[in-house]
Amino acid sequence: MKSTTRSVYDPFIIALACAATLIGLLFIFDAGYARALRDGKGIIPREFIVQLLTLPIALFAGWRAARVKPEKWLKISTLLWVISLVALVLCKLPVIGVEMNGAHRWIRFPFFSLQPAEFVKLTSVLYLGGVLATRKAWPSKITPRKNFAHWMDTICVPKFERALPLVWVTVAILLIEIEPDLGTAAVVAATAAVMLFVGGVSWKSLGACLALGILGGGLLVMKQPYRIQRFRDHGDRWSADNADDSTYQTVQSEVAMSSGGIVGVGLGNGRAKHVEPATTTDFIMATIAEETGLLGSWLVLAVMGGLSLRILFVAKGVKDKFRRLVLVGVAAWFGVQACVNMMMANAFVPPIGIPMPFISSGGSSLIALWLAVGLCQAMLIPASVKGEVFAISDHRWRNRRPHLSGARGRAALR
């Protein structure tokens, strides 16, 4: 029996992530080749080349992340969060940041660019997981207020200190929004809300956060005229004026998805790829649904839903609070992003710029997603006691859960 720090893993998480990535490669090529030919750049889309070249980096990053102990992730979670905040600020600098179509979302490197907001999804999960797992419980009984100074010392200051991490998350959301990237900001906010709920935040605080979130979201929508127009015109998207203007993408996606029927029109035969501006990113589901029909859409939802549910299932069996919160946060991130992207594609909600995880093109997104998959595997590394790593004889599975030998194995996941 050999001791190892990489003794427990979940092959279902890896298999589902691989399936989603392969589906993405297929349809990034399928949805992008028409535009590549139209632009005189050959039959292979640039997005496909970037995704293919990024994949080995993403897989290596996920493998490395999976070998880092949860205790180490907890220790560096705040540092990673600070680095991600600095990176969001660097996007705005003229020399380091990259401007594209009026958006400042990327940092320039010699041979590539990175989108820090994609990694904030990951670091926010780690940061909030660490904060919620290590903070002390609020006293059940508080000394009655004697005077204003006593009230400040015993109530206001401690409450502010407990709320400070959420303030920093709000700062990150605002930095992402001004890039502008409302979709990514919304994903970070929704993931944080799920983690606060699971992390034991009181109902009063959750209610206050929800109210502030709704108010803040409404203000951010009203901040930009084009956002107001999208929401205002969405209900009347089929009118002659809107269908060729503000709601063009949504209408074309809706047409493509409805024309796919049960089994689709066949790979390569779709119309959406010829008319959709964001055919390989936010609206890749239009091509998938049109060419593979309802069955293809169900397959994508089954893979993404299965991935999120599997991570939640694993989290249910983990006793350590930090590990459980990280797993729930990643599951919420994947699930929320996939659901909203599908609802954008079928016109249930207005477009707010949210891609389908693993399937839409994006090098930074792919690396961040596979880092998250590796992080989920890392949360299953057995704990150490007095420098000893618990040994596990092999990767045996019983009742779809990792099986650890003996009492030590059962204690390792606590």
Closest alpha carbon to 359 in 314, 310, 297 = 297
**For 70-88, what is the mean pLDDT?**
96
Among all chains, which residue has been given the structure tokens 């790593």?
Answer: 389
Kindly indicate the confidence band of residue 41, based on its pLDDT and cuts at 50, 70 and 90. Answer: confident
pLDDT confidence of 136, banded at 50, 70, 90?
Answer: confident
Cα separation, 88 vs 117, in Å, equals 7
pLDDT at 150 > cutoff 70: no
pLDDT category at 107 given cuts 50, 70, 90 is very high
Which residues of 139-223 form beta strands (DSSP E)?
Answer: none
Confidence check: pLDDT of 375 > 90: yes
Say how far apart CA 309 and CA 331 lie, in whole Å.
Answer: 7
Q: What pLDDT shows up at residue 387?
A: 41
Residue 405 above 60 pLDDT?
Answer: no
Residue 139 per-residue DSSP state: P
Please name the amino acid found at residue 240: A
Burial 219-231 (b: 16+ CB within 10 A, else e): ebeeeeeebeebe
- 332: helix, strand or coil: helix
pLDDT band of 403, cuts 50, 70, 90: very low
- C-alpha–C-alpha distance, residues 403 and 397, integer Å: 5
Neighbours of 317 (CB within 10 A): 12
H or E element at residue 114 = strand 113-114
* Mean pLDDT for the chain overall: 87
pLDDT band per the 50, 70, 90 thresholds, residue 154? low
> Between these two residues, 223 and 376, which has the higher pLDDT value?
376
* pLDDT reading at 344 higher than 70: yes
Is the predicted pLDDT of residue 414 greater than 60, yes or no?
A: no
Per cent of the chain over pLDDT 70 is: 86
Q: Name the more confident of 101 and 211.
A: 211
For residues 209 and 166, the answer to whether their CB atoms sit within 8 Å is yes
Burial of 332 (0-12, 13-18, 19+ CB in 10 A): buried
pLDDT at position 400 over 60? no
What percent of the chain is predicted at pLDDT more than 90?
65
Print burial letters for 378-401: b (CB count within 10 Å at least 16), e (below 16).
Answer: bbbbbbeeeeebbbbeeeeeeeee
Q: Per residue in 253-274, pLDDT tens?
A: 999 999 999 999 999 999 999 9
Sequence-ordered list of residues with C-beta below 8 angstroms from that of 313, at least 6 positions apart, any chain: 400
The tens digit of pLDDT for each residue in 313-326 reads: 999 999 999 999 99
* C-alpha of 186 from chain center: 10
pLDDT in the model for residue 94: 85
Mean pLDDT value of segment 398-404: 43
pLDDT digit string, tens, across residues 184-212: 999 999 999 999 999 988 888 899 899 99
Question: Per residue in 36-48, is it b (16+ CB within 10 Å) or e — as a string?
Answer: beeeeeeeebebb
Q: So what's the pLDDT on residue 278?
A: 86
Alpha helices in 39-69 (DSSP H): 46-66
How far is the C-alpha of 156 from the C-alpha of 138, rounded, in Å? Answer: 13
**CA–CA separation, 274 vs 256, rounded Å?**
11
Residue with tokens 């001004």: 178
Residue 111 is predicted with a pLDDT of 82
* DSSP bridge partners of 384: 389
Which amino acid appears at position 26 of this protein?
L
Q: Which two tokens stand for residue 189?
A: 């906010």
Higher pLDDT residue, 80 or 393? 80
391 pLDDT higher than 50: no
pLDDT at 139: 67
> pLDDT at position 152, please?
67
Instruction: Write the CB contacts of 351 (distance below 8 Å, at least 6 apart in sequence).
Output: 230, 249, 250, 282, 283, 344
pLDDT of residue 226: 86
Per-residue pLDDT at 392 exceeds 80? no
Residue in the block written with tokens 């297929």? 26
The secondary structure of residue 412, as a DSSP letter, is H
pTM: 0.88
pLDDT at position 386 is: 43
Strand partners, 114: 107
Give the Cα separation of 69 and 72 in Å (integer).
Answer: 5
pLDDT of residue 68: 95
Residue 25 has pLDDT above 60, yes or no: yes
- Please give the structure tokens belonging to residue 47: 């997005």
CB neighbour list of residue 307: distance below 8 Å, 6 or more residues apart: 13, 16, 17, 20, 334
CA–CA distance, 349 with 362 (Å, rounded to integer): 22
Domain range summary for the chain, segments of one domain joined by + = 11-381
Per-residue pLDDT, 413: 45
Q: How many CB atoms lie within 10 A of CB 406?
A: 12
The β-bridge relationship of strands 388-389 and 384-385 is antiparallel
